Amino acid sequence: MTEPAKPLNFIEQIIKKDLEEKRVNKVVTRFPPEPNGYLHIGHAKSICLNFGLAETFGGDCHLRFDDTNPVKEDMEYVEAIKRDVQWLGFQWAGEVRYASNYFDTLYEWALHLIRAGKAYVCDLNADEAREYRGTLTEPGRPSPYRERSVDENLALFEAMRAGECEEGSRSLRAKIDMASGNINLRDPVLYRIRKQHHHQTGDRWCIYPSYDFAHGQGDAIEGITHSVCTLEFADHQPLYNWFIENLPVPAKPRQYEFGRLNLNYTITSKRKLKQLVDEGFVDGWDDPRMPTIAGFRRRGYTPASLRRFCEMIGVTRSDGVVDVGMLEHAIRDDLDKNAPRAMCVLSPLKVVLTNYPEGQTESLTVPGSPNREDLPDRTLPFGREIYIDRDDFREEANKKYKRLVLGKRVRLRGAYVIEADEVVKGDDGEIALVKARYIEGTLGENPEDGIKPKGVIQWVAAHEHARFEVRLYERLFNDPEPDAGDKHFLDSINPESLTVVPDCLGEIGLNNADVGAGYQFERIGYFCRDSRAENLVFNQTISLKDSFNK
C-alpha cells in the first residue's frame, strides 16, 4: 500500500482504518454512471475520487454502467463515458461491467424476496402509487395489493416476465414500511414493465430492475468494499442496507456519501443538459460551452487541469457551491506553464514597411515557449508587408496606450521595432493600410537612437501565414444560479456566449496544428484546434486573465 503524502480526506481516513484493522484486504471501488447522457464536471470529481482511492491504496476501480432504464440509454453514451474516463487518465480494472450482466441474478433475488414474503406485485399505476406513498409529513397507506399470497405474487411476477402485462399496469415492490419517516422505505419499486429494446440484452427482458435494486446488488456481486456516492443518496442508504441484509449477496459493501460538485454559472442536471442539446441551444453534448467532459476537452481543457481542479476543491461531507473561477484558474495555470506560443491577429490590418526592400524576406527564430525548453523553436517568415491586429493601431492615443500610434514606435514580437508614418483610408473612411518604417539593427536590440518602443504587439507575415476561423466563448449562463428556486434556466442563457470570428490570420506553423492541440495566442488567450470542424478552426479555451467580474 502506498501512503499518500497529502492530508487524508475523510473517506481516505475510513479506508486507511479499514485496511489497518483488516476489515478489508484490498480496496475495490467503482464508478457507476447511468448511460443516459454525457458526463459533466460533477462526474469528473467522482471519477477522480473513485479511481484515485484505488490508486492511492493499491486497489481496483471498476467501471460499471447502471443500465436499468433502456428508455433513456444509448450506446453513444456508453462509448462517450469510456472515452472520458480514459482521457482523464484512468483505466478501470478488468472488463467494462454492466448492471445488465446481473439481470438473471437480480431476477432470482426478486423471487427470493417474494418467497420470503418481503415483496409483492402491485397493480397501482404510477399516479395512484404516488398518492398512496404519502408525503414528508404524512405516512403512506398500504397498497390494496400488499397482502397477496406468495403463490399469487410468484404467478403475477412470472406473467410480468413473460410479457403478458402492459407497461405501467403492474410493478414489483418491496414490502418494508409504509409509515417510515424515510420515503425510500415505503415499499419501493423493484421491477417495472418496460417493453423496450436494451442496448446490451436486446429483447430478452421486458421487465427491468429499479436503480436502487440493481445498484447495491451490483456492488455486492463485484465485491466493492467502499461504495462512494454523492450526498443525495444518503437517504437511500437505509434501503441500500435493507437489500444487502435481506438477500443472499456474496459480499456486504458499505455506502459512503460525499458532497457533490456544484459550480456557479453552471447546470449539471443531465435532463437539462439534454434539453439544451435537443432544442438546439448548443451544438451537441461536446459543445465547448457545455460543462461536459467532452465539451471541456473540445474547448482545450487538459486532463491535468480537471484533475487539479478536483484536487483543489477537495472531498467533504457537505454540499457547497464552488466559484467557476477556480476551474478557470486551474486551466490557465496549466496552459501558462505548458502551452506552446503562437501569434494570431483576429482583425487583420495591413502594414507596409516602406524602407524594407521589396521582394526580400527572412526567417526569424523565436522560442516555442518561455516556460518549456523542450518545445522546439518557431520559424517566422518576415517581409515588407505584415498584418497586425486592428485594435493595436490608433492615429492618436494617450500615454496609457502601449501599442502602435502615428509617429510612435512599437516592437513586433520576436522581430524589429517599427514606427508608423501614415495611414491610407478607404472610401468608407476606415483605415485600410498603415505605412511604417522598420528600424534597422533592432532585431533583439534597442534602437541606437535611444528612442525605445512603447510596447510589444503580435504580427504575421502577409506573404506566408495561416488563415482560420476563431470561436470566442463566454459562459453559457449569465446568472450565477441559473436554475435556483423557481427560475427557468433557459431564461439565463447568455446570448453572447459564442462569437465567430472568420478570416483570422496566424503564423504559418498553425496550418500544421494537430486536432485538439492547444496554444497561447500571444496577448489574446488560450486556444485549441477544434476536433470537429472540417476546416481550420481554433476554439478559445480561456482568456489570458479573468476579466469577468471587472
Domain ranges of the chain: 10-258, 270-340+468-543, 347-458
Percent of the chain with pLDDT over 70: 98
The domain over range 347-458 is classified in CATH as 2.40.10.340: no
pLDDT at 389: 98
Report the alpha-carbon distance of residue 377 to residue 469 in Å, rounded: 25
Confidence check: pLDDT of 448 > 80? yes
Q: Place 296 in a pLDDT band, splitting at 50, 70 and 90.
A: very high
At 229, list the grid cell. 456516492
Count Cβ atoms below 10 Å from residue 453 Cβ, excluding itself.
Answer: 22
Q: Determine contact, residues 294/80, Cβ cutoff 8 Å.
A: yes
Q: Is the dihedral of CA 400, 401, 402, 406 positive or negative?
A: negative
Give the pLDDT score at 219: 98
Mean predicted confidence (pLDDT) in 101-114: 98
251 with 220: CB under 8 angstroms? yes
Question: Looking at residue 2, what is its pLDDT?
Answer: 55
Mode of pairing for the β-strands spanning 60-65 and 28-31: parallel
CA-nearest of 194, 206, 189 to 119 is: 189
Percentage of the chain with pLDDT > 90? 95
> How far apart (Å, rounded) are the C-alpha atoms in residues 458 and 547?
21
Integer angstrom CA distances of residue 447 from 356, 430, 439, 546: 16, 31, 7, 35
Residue 259 near residue 318, CB atoms below 8 Å: yes
- 131: cell is 398518492
| Band of pLDDT at residue 5, cut at 50, 70 and 90 | low
- The confidence band for 548, taking pLDDT boundaries of 50, 70 and 90, is very low
Contacts of 245 (CB under 8 A, 6+ apart): none
Q: H or E stretch including 191?
A: strand 189-193
pLDDT of residue 545: 84
Residue 194 has pLDDT above 80, yes or no: yes
Q: What ranges in 89-227 are assigned the alpha helix state H?
A: 103-115, 126-133, 150-161, 211-222
Question: What burial letters (b/e) apply to 142-157, b meaning 16+ CB within 10 Å?
Answer: ebebeebeeeebeebb
226-245 pLDDT, tens digit each:
999 999 999 999 999 999 99
Res 325 pLDDT > 90: yes
Residue 462's pLDDT is what?
A: 97
Give the pLDDT confidence score for residue 454 in this predicted structure.
84
pTM of the predicted protein model: 0.94
What is the predicted pLDDT for the residue at 6? 78
SS3 510: helix
At residue 340, φ and ψ (nearest 5 deg) are -65, 155
- Specify the pLDDT at position 337: 95
What confidence tens digit (pLDDT) does each residue in 276-289 have?
A: 999 999 999 999 99
The 8-class DSSP code of residue 387 comes to: E
Q: Which has more pLDDT, 3 or 517?
A: 517
Identical fold for domains 10-258 and 347-458, yes or no, is: no
Q: Amino acid letter at 290?
A: M
Q: What's residue 546's pLDDT? A: 66
Cα(179)–Cα(537) distance, integer angstroms = 60
Cα separations (Å) of 418 from 399, 437, 445?
A: 18, 5, 12
Asked if residue 200 lies in contact with residue 146, where contact means CB atoms within 8 angstroms, the answer is: no
CA 548 to chain centre: 21
Q: What is the mean pLDDT of residues 350-370?
A: 96
CATH architecture of 10-258: 3-Layer(aba) Sandwich (3.40)
Q: What is the pLDDT of residues 70-94, one digit of tens each?
A: 999 999 999 999 999 999 999 999 9
User: With respect to CATH, is domain 270-340+468-543 assigned 1.10.1160.10?
Assistant: yes
Active site residues: 34, 260, 270
Reduced to 3 states, what is the DSSP secondary structure of residue 303? helix
Rounded Cα distance, 290 and 281, in Å: 10
pLDDT of residue 550: 46
Q: Which residues pair with 322 in a beta bridge?
A: 263
Task: Give residue-wise pLDDT tens across range 117-138.
Answer: 999 999 999 999 999 999 999 9
Determine the distance from the C-alpha atom of residue 483 to the mean position of all C-alpha atoms in its chain, rounded to a whole number.
19
Confidence of residue 204 (pLDDT cuts 50, 70, 90): very high
The count of other CB atoms within 10 Å of the CB of residue 221 is: 19
